[in-house]
Amino acid sequence: MAGKAPERDLEEVVAAARACRICEEHLPLGPRPVLRAASPARLMIVGQAPGTRVHETGIPWNDRSGERLRGWLRIPGEAFYDEARVAIVPMGFCYPGVDAKGGDKPPRPECAPLWHAPLRAGLPKVELTLLVGMYAQKHYLGKRRQKTLTQTVRHWRDYLPEFLPLPHPSWRNTAWLKKNPWFEKELLPELRRRVKKLVT
């Protein structure tokens, strides 16, 4: 049946992405691509790359950052992890290792150029893509983004209805949230309204 073809195509792309080993030599814990996508999904979340806990479990956003992100969205775990409702496609699918300052390294540069276009092609029903963090915003907004992450997120209305930029929900960004109260007062209510419409 012609209607089934996009789903089969997407399943093939997801399977190939999960089997990817292109940057294996650069990954300290080895490759374990973590992503979720199914063709009915109407919401897509593009984050950075898995941390160690996500690498260990194979479950995206299965950490404190994920707890905060789900709090921002106000959706329960069963909806968040229903790939028929929410596609989760980070900029880097595998844990990239630790940098000299003790934080996670940036997502590997090979991943998004290789996989994001074919994955998005298999997600024709996505109405809103959440761009979580600088790397996702740089890739998807290009020259449209502002000079800083704060400015880009502050101009969130400019990117709707296709995209909505967010800061990373890391607990290291708690100070940022306190310095930018407009995020909770203005952006989060609109984010929750749109997500509820798409996911429930």
Q: What is the pLDDT of residues 151-199, one digit of tens each?
A: 999 999 999 999 999 999 998 899 999 999 999 999 999 999 999 999 9
At residue 82, does pLDDT exceed 50? yes
At residue 3, does pLDDT exceed 60? no
Measuring CA to CA, how many Å separate 66 from each of 15, 152, 169, 170, 196?
Answer: 24, 21, 7, 8, 18
Q: What is the pLDDT of residues 84-137, one digit of tens each?
A: 999 999 999 999 999 878 788 999 999 999 999 999 999 999 999 999 999 999
Bridge partners, residue 131, by sequence: 46, 165
pLDDT for 29: 96
What is this structure's pTM? Answer: 0.94
pLDDT for 93: 98
Q: Where are the domains of the chain?
A: 23-199
Helices 111-121 and 5-18 pack at an angle, to 10 degrees, of 160
What is the distance between the alpha carbons of residues 138 and 135, in angstroms, rounded to a whole number? 5
What average pLDDT does the segment 38-58 reach?
96
What is the distance between the alpha carbons of residues 38 and 86, in angstroms, rounded to a whole number? 8
pLDDT for 8: 59
What is the CATH code of the structural domain delimited by 23-199? 3.40.470.10
pLDDT for 1: 42
**Confidence class of residue 2 from pLDDT cuts 50, 70 and 90?**
very low
Which residue in the block uniquely carries the two structure tokens 């409702």? 85
At residue 60, does pLDDT exceed 60? yes
At residue 200, does pLDDT exceed 70? yes
Would you say 99 and 105 are in contact if contact means Cβ atoms under 8 Å apart? yes
Which residue in the block uniquely carries the two structure tokens 């990373």? 168
Locate 156 and state its tokens.
């969130």
